Amino acid sequence: MDERMVAVVERDGTRDEVAVEEPLEIRVDGAALTVTMRTPGQDEELALGFLYGEGLIDGPRPAGLTEDLANNVVEVSGPLLRDPGERRFYTTSSCGVCGKGSLEEVAVYAPPLGPGPVVDRDVLAGLPDRLRQPTFERTGGLHATGLFTADGELVLVREDVGRHNAMDKVIGRALVDGRVPLSSHVLCVSGRLSFELVQKAAVAGAPILVGVGAPTSLAIELAADRGLTLAGFARRGHVNVYTGAERVALG
């Protein structure tokens, strides 16, 4: 675990550990693109995953932290595949780029998904229990995204104060490792299932997305439109399947 993710504070006369939240500016060829509130660590992965999810890059690029603003700036090599236009704005750790998308726009960067694996329902229900969240256990303040095989084996996991950042870090790492598109994998998130998380999963080619919490109506609509299996309330051995039930087998 990266110790930059945790800060020690005073609480009720004792020391307590809390999750760190700091701004990160993403630049491409020296030009500022966006600022997001995130937990430090794997910043290069976050930047690459974000750019890929926005349809701005189609593969890994050189990326690294600069000396600016106490290493809160990550520089990515361009060029971008297209002009980001109105996407140059501030995002928060809670919502990401809220309200920016439409089903038609996502469809440009996320073609309908292929068949993908068929996964036992019991495996889907148990994925949250297999998420390793060491920083959450210390602070109680982070979300997590895990990348799994169809058999439920954890490939990698990332934590962040923002649920969308955790997803970007996983996709960015998978991009560097040559795993994208994630056509044979399953993504699992520790919180609710938003439109944006479904968008990121679809663009990365992941056929199945599972969450501990509830999906939103637009998340379900987008998942159905892209042919993605969306499952929520995965806890205590149960899971609700909202779309793409053909990929879920009775275990």
Active-site residue flag, 188: no
The single residue listed with the structure tokens 């997803």 is: 167
For residue 203, give both structure tokens.
């663009």
Q: Return phi, psi of residue 204, to 5°.
A: -80, -5
Number of H helices, E strands in the chain: 7, 14
SS3 198: helix
Residue 8: its H or E element: strand 6-11
Alpha helices in the chain (DSSP H): 43-53, 103-109, 121-130, 134-139, 163-176, 195-203, 217-226
Give the other-Cβ count within 10 Å of 117's Cβ: 16
- d(C-alpha 185, C-alpha 92), whole Å: 28
Angle, helices 43-53/195-203, rounded to nearest 10 degrees: 90
Name the active-site residue from 81, 95, 108, 118. 95
- Please give the positions annotated as active site: 95
